[in-house]
Amino acid sequence: MKICNLCEGQSKKSLNGKPHEYLVEIGELRIFKGQKPRRFKEQDYQCQTCRAKITHSTDSNNLAWTLWHG
């Protein structure tokens, strides 16, 4: 299914960006307890419109919002 515009835009948002209105949380918040500053959290979301999955990560080495194609 084609990725919707909201999800395309979501993948470009910053760390502090809010999930768009059709994203719902799936699964549990994952907390990685490394040494500071290696502590980060991840949360998966799924879009109710296009069914895309997006992971929000506070790991500064990654994109804040990762869009999973396919």
Interacting residue with Zn ion among 11, 17, 19, 49 (CB under 5 A): 49
Per-residue burial over 57-68, b if 16 or more Cβ lie within 10 Å, else e, is: bebeeeebbebe
Nearer to Zn ion, 54 or 57 (CB): 54
Nearer to Zn ion, 47 or 64 (CB): 47
**DSSP character string of 2-48:** PPPHHHHHHTT--TTPPPPTTEEEEEEEEEE--STTS-EEEEEEEET
> By rule CB under 5 A, what string of x and - marks binding of each residue 6-35 to Zn ion?
-x----------------------------
CB of 7 to Zn ion, least distance (A): 3
CB of 25 to Zn ion, least distance (A): 14
